[in-house]
A = this chain, B = another copy of it.
Amino acid sequence: MNIGQAAAASGLSAKMIRHYEQSGLLQPTQRSEAGYRQYQSKDIEILKFIRRARILGFSLADIAGLLALWQNPQRSNTVVKQVAQQHLAEVELKLQELHAMKQTLQQMIAQCAADGGAHCAILQHLAKPTRS
């Protein structure tokens, strides 16, 4: 299986698969005589694992750790849970930040007449916020 098929099968781009290999997330695969990377179905499972973890927002560094734990029969699920909880905390922090942005943006937009005039509550708020 060449990298194109591996990309299609895993949902990643070929570019990213090479990038993951180059940054140490993946073991270098076997190569064909011409130098083409060769992927086995086992490799596809790893690629899918990476893709799912990326969708959940795990960093590549986190994923490297999770992959090592996944492939280690002596692993402790306590460690895995800690990684996930740490990531969840970061996600929740970003959620809070974005929520605060959303609130303020909504208030500003609600106060904007949008009548084509020059008076603008949004610019006023950015220039000299009355609250928040």
Measured CB to CB, the residues of A under 8 A from B are 45, 49, 52-53, 55-57, 66, 69-70, 73-78, 80-81, 84-85, 87-88, 91-92, 94-95, 98-99, 101-102, 104-106, 108-109, 112-123, 125-127, 129
Contact = CB atoms under 8 A, between A and B. Distances in A.
A18 to B, nearest CB: 22
18 contacts: A52-B125, A57-B101, A70-B126, A73-B118, A75-B120, A76-B116, A77-B115, A77-B117, A77-B119, A77-B120, A78-B115, A80-B120, A81-B122, A84-B105, A87-B105, A94-B98, A95-B95, A95-B98
Contacts of A118: 73-77
